Amino acid sequence: MAFGWIEEQDRARREAGLVRVLRPRPASSSLLDLASNDYLGLARHPEVVEGAASAARTWGGGATGSRLVTGTTALHAELESELAGFCGFEAALVFSSGYAANLAAVTALAPHGSLVVSDAGNHASLIDGCRLARGTTQVVGHADPDAVRKALATHDGPAVAVSDTVFSVDGDAAPLAALADACRAYGAGLIVDDAHGLGVLGDGGRGAPQGAGLAGRDDVVATVTLSKSLGAQGGAVLGPARVVAHLVNAARTFIFDTGLAPAAAGAALAALRLLVREPERAARARAVAAELHERLTTAGLDAVRPDAAVVSVRAPSAEEAVRWAADCRAAGLSVGCFRPPSVPDGISRLRLTARGDLSREQIERAVRVIGETRP
Ligand SMILES: Cc1ncc(COP(=O)(O)O)c(C=O)c1O
């Protein structure tokens, strides 16, 4: 029977307690939300919603084609210029998602004969970029610049190291300065995925590369998503103008993909302008993360110290993590639940988003619910 193997895989997944199911999401909910990636609470900000609506009114419901075919709008150009300027890079190119931006950066910058050195804790989209790239990938230990050096030392030819800036599972930060030093020593490029850094790290949320003094360097490329701190949708690659020009010609997820939807571009631009006006939002998200971590630890929970706004709490098993998240939900708190294969070390976790707009009372309530429902 066609696709007969699906049932076999499904059975194995059920036995391991790893089945994923889609849950309906109402337009408004009384749940306290610590599951989304809306770090700055901007997704429903009136200026962001109006940015989306007015862009759709002006430019339509979709981009109508690849920007190389139907042309590039003033809106996309404005977003790219302001985003690059904000993060401290020479140029930017937006994509329909952060996932597509990561595929673009890795595949276009790792040609045949090149080496890609990839952190073992990298996001799935970087991993998939490595899988699609023509170069050869070497996976190295998590947050280990010496391992990157050793890998680069073995290779003769173009090379690039790729790493998340903030790892999505535990919320720990990559040793960016040491990675950049390692790359520079061997003439390699560095690609960093700042999905969880933009809006949270760096001066006023300018991102982890800016915070580490790497933004604008000729050997550093950053990718971002517009779907987390900016509360919109889409992604971007930031870097030297010559790299961005190369992506327009070489990145298949730019060339063969419909351009970023105008509404998403308009929302992201409005959010970016808000962040420029209100830079304290970034520090507030970091402060909420620190407070959440401290209260969880005081309550005896195994929470990882956050470097940005992701707070991770370890669970005894995948089944108990799922039950724990469901019990939190029943008590009015929405939290993320990470299980294999999304966690490289096999340890399941509750994953909390330290939204900058959470009040002290909401933080206390979240910690109380997590503590009361613990397995
Ligand atoms: C580290 C990281 N990179 C990339 C992405 C993909 O971004 P997007 O959702 O915009 O495709 C995500 C999350 O979704 C992420 O956590």
Q: Is 235 in the pocket of ligand 1 (CB under 6 A)?
A: yes
Q: Is 168 in the pocket of ligand 1 (CB under 6 A)?
A: yes
Q: pLDDT digits over 299-318, tens only?
A: 999 999 999 999 999 999 98
Same domain, 286 and 252: no
Confidence of residue 374 (pLDDT cuts 50, 70, 90): very high
Residue nearest to atom 3 of ligand 1 (CA): 195
Residue nearest to atom 9 of ligand 1 (CA): 98
What confidence score (pLDDT) does residue 19 get? 86
What confidence score (pLDDT) does residue 124 get? 95
Confidence of residue 88 (pLDDT cuts 50, 70, 90): very high
Q: Please state, in angstroms and as integers, the Cα–Cα distance from residue 48 to each residue in 23, 143, 148, 227, following that order.
A: 26, 35, 40, 12
Measured in angstroms, how far is the CA atom of residue 213 from the centroid of ligand 1? Answer: 23
Q: What does the pLDDT average to over 67-90?
A: 97
Same domain, 62 and 164: yes
Q: Which atom of ligand 1 lies nearest, measured to the CA of 100?
A: 11
Confidence of residue 344 (pLDDT cuts 50, 70, 90): confident
Same domain, 147 and 249: yes
What gap in Å lies between CA 142 and CA 163, rounded to an integer?
9
Q: Is 165 in the pocket of ligand 1 (CB under 6 A)?
A: no
- Which residue segment(s) compose the domain that 314 sits in? 28-42+279-372
Residue nearest to atom 2 of ligand 1 (CA): 195
**Is there a domain that residue 18 lies in?**
no
What confidence score (pLDDT) does residue 146 get? 98
**Final residue before a domain boundary, out of 254, 277, 300:** 277
Q: CATH number of the domain that 307 lies in?
A: 3.90.1150.10
Mutation test residue for ligand 1: of 83, 99, 122, 126, the one with most atoms within 8 Å of CB: 99
Same domain, 38 and 62: no
Nearest alpha carbon to residue 125 among 191, 171, 173:
191
- Return mean pLDDT, the chain: 96
What gap in Å lies between CA 32 and CA 42, rounded to an integer?
16
Same domain, 217 and 315: no
Confidence of residue 20 (pLDDT cuts 50, 70, 90): confident
What confidence score (pLDDT) does residue 28 get? 92
What confidence score (pLDDT) does residue 152 get? 98
What's the structural domain count of the chain? 2
Same domain, 200 and 55: yes
Same domain, 33 and 143: no
Contact 239, 90 (CB under 8 A): yes
Does 362 score more than 90 pLDDT? Answer: yes
Cis amide bond preceding 279, omega within 30: no
Q: pLDDT digits over 232-255, tens only?
A: 999 999 999 999 999 999 999 999
Same domain, 259 and 313: no
pTM of the model: 0.96
Q: pLDDT digits over 194-217, tens only?
A: 999 999 999 999 999 999 999 999
| Percent of all residues in the chain with a pLDDT value above 70, rounded to a whole number | 100
What gap in Å lies between CA 302 and CA 196, rounded to an integer?
21
Same domain, 257 and 323: no
Confidence of residue 128 (pLDDT cuts 50, 70, 90): very high
